Amino acid sequence: MSTPIVDSHIHLFPESHLPTLAWHGPNNPLGSQHCVDEYRNASSSVSTTTIPETKQYLRGFIFLETDRISSISEESPESPGWKHALDEVSLLTRIALGEPISGEGHKAIDRDLCLGIIPWAPVPGGPDVLRKYLSQVQERSRTDEVWRKVRGVRYLVQDKPVGVMLESNFVESLRFLGREGLVFDLGVDARQGGLHQLREAVEMMEGVYEGVEDQSQVIIVINHLCKPNMRLPPDSTSTHNEYLEWKDLITRMARASNKTYMKLSGGFSELPPLTSSEIDLTSVIDTVQPWTDAVFDAFGADRVMFGSDWPVCNVGGGGNAVSWNRWRSVVEGTLERRGLTEDEKRGVWGNVAVEAYGISI
């Protein structure tokens, strides 16, 4: 039986949109077009159709916002407000409807790959601001078909001031998203941002669920294993203080609610960089195992999902020609070592994402 892969975390941006990205600069290694054409090339190691003799096939992806220049308020003298974020929604609408514009890097057939859309949203603004913004997202979606693909939002907190996740508006926004049937994608960075981000995230999550009668309404999907420091000495990782605190914090995240999920993604950004030449895949799996074991111990296989973090994975993973398949192979080896059942593996490759985001494949 072929296993459908749902890539739960990719980014897309045409060359014409590069100036609207908050992180873009002349020397950025991602400073060129990365759209569906390039993604298809990167993931070409697996088919996009169900073939009986094929072990896996790529069913599609969930798009995550790309950190556009934006502000919490709709109109800001220092920034374009919500314009760039909403323009990104319009791009995804064209992809999802199969209505390409010349130069955007996608074709009509690509509409079937777009399974879910997670746009940026002004979460710290509170429910009223969020409601106004989402109404404009719905307008940009143009059709009910595309609006149904908008399955949640993300507001990156990895580069935001200390305390933003604990503000009452932030907490109430997440509860509002839950009532609206929308997921919140949480992006924190343990390695570069510091473990204090995880401590704050745990406090926020415990606060979000406290007193909520129906906790199943608030769904939080955590990105990239919380970006742990996988550059610790491999022979002492499991006893290192940094690892032990990270492990404790993600365990608390998992215990906050059974509706918190973790993405098995983003590893190449936290590992020592790989080259485009042949690598020792077993060694990479060895390095990530303490971290992935901790995640499976905390969340269980039924709350862990595969994500490539394309095209960011290209930077540390050896380039577009090899990185996507390398990460798929690392995850495949990790699941084998973990001893997961075939049903559990199918969950990680796709079914968990289907459940968490409420998408249809």
pLDDT at 214 over 90: no
Kindly indicate the confidence band of residue 164, based on its pLDDT and cuts at 50, 70 and 90: very high
Q: What percent of the chain has pLDDT over 90?
A: 91
Residue 117, beta-bridge partner list: 63, 150
- pLDDT reported for residue 161: 96
Domain ranges across the chain: 3-357
- pLDDT reported for residue 54: 63
Separation CA 300–CA 86 (nearest Å):
36
- Residue range 86-99: mean pLDDT, rounded: 98
Residue 246's contacts (CB-CB under 8 Å, 6 or more residues apart) are 190, 195, 198, 226, 228, 229, 291, 294
CA atoms within 13 A on the CB side of 167: 15
Range of weakest confidence among 52-61, 293-302, 345-354: 52-61
Segment (H or E) for 328: helix 323-338
User: 21: which DSSP letter?
Assistant: B
- Residue range 185-190: mean pLDDT, rounded: 98
Kindly indicate the confidence band of residue 184, based on its pLDDT and cuts at 50, 70 and 90: very high
pTM, rounded to two decimals: 0.97
- Residue range 68-90: mean pLDDT, rounded: 92
Which has the closest alpha carbon to 86: 114, 61, 121?
A: 121
105: tokens are 């890097």
Kindly indicate the confidence band of residue 53, based on its pLDDT and cuts at 50, 70 and 90: low
Interval 283-312: pLDDT, tens: 999 999 999 999 999 999 999 999 999 999
CA atoms within 13 A on the CB side of 275: 4
- pLDDT reported for residue 299: 98
Separation CA 351–CA 40 (nearest Å):
21
- Residue range 228-255: mean pLDDT, rounded: 97
Whether residue 190 contacts residue 246, with contact meaning beta carbons closer than 8 Å, is answered with yes
- pLDDT reported for residue 77: 76
- pLDDT reported for residue 212: 77
Segment (H or E) for 61: strand 56-64
- pLDDT reported for residue 114: 98
- Burial string for 330-343 (b: 16+ CB within 10 Å, else e) reads bbbbbbeebebeee
Residue 252's contacts (CB-CB under 8 Å, 6 or more residues apart) are 202, 206
Exposed, middle or buried: residue 251 (CB in 10 Å: 0-12, 13-18, 19+)?
middle
Which has the closest alpha carbon to 175: 259, 70, 63?
A: 259
Kindly indicate the confidence band of residue 179, based on its pLDDT and cuts at 50, 70 and 90: very high
Interval 14-36: pLDDT, tens: 999 999 999 999 899 999 999 99
Separation CA 46–CA 91 (nearest Å):
25
Higher per-residue confidence, 220 vs 46: 220
- pLDDT reported for residue 31: 95
Q: What percent of the chain has pLDDT over 70?
A: 99
Separation CA 229–CA 221 (nearest Å):
20
Interval 310-344: pLDDT, tens: 999 999 999 999 999 999 999 999 999 999 999 99
User: 206: which DSSP letter?
Assistant: H
> Looking at the domain covering 3-357, what would its CATH class be?
alpha beta
- pLDDT reported for residue 79: 80
Range of weakest confidence among 6-15, 174-183, 209-218, 232-241: 209-218
pLDDT at 252 over 70: yes
